Structure 1
Amino acid sequence: MNTPESPGVRKRGRPSSGNAMSNAERQRAYRERQAQKRDAESVTMNKRAQQALESTAKLRSQRDQALRAQEQAEHKAREWEAKATSLLKQILELEQRKDAPLAWYQDPGIEAVYVLESRLREEKHWKRVASMGAFTRREVADEWLKSMLAHSSMIEYRVNRIRFKTE
Structure 2
Amino acid sequence: MKNKILILITLFSAMLVKAQQDDKDSSTTLSFTKSETLSVADLSFQAIWDDKLSYSDNIGYYGGIAELRVFKNKKHLQTIKNIEDGIALGYINFEMNDYNIDGYLDFTVPISCGRSCNYSYYLYNSKTKKFEYRKEWDYLRIQIMDKEKKQIISQPDGMQDDGKIYQVEGLKLIEIKK
TM-score (norm 2): 0.24
User: Looking at both structures, which has the greater relative contact order when contacts are Cα pairs under 8 Å and sequence separation is at least 6?
Assistant: 1
TM-score (norm 1): 0.25
Q: Judging by fraction of residues, say which structure has more helix.
A: 1
Work out which of the two has the higher radius of gyration on C-alpha atoms and give 1 or 2.
1
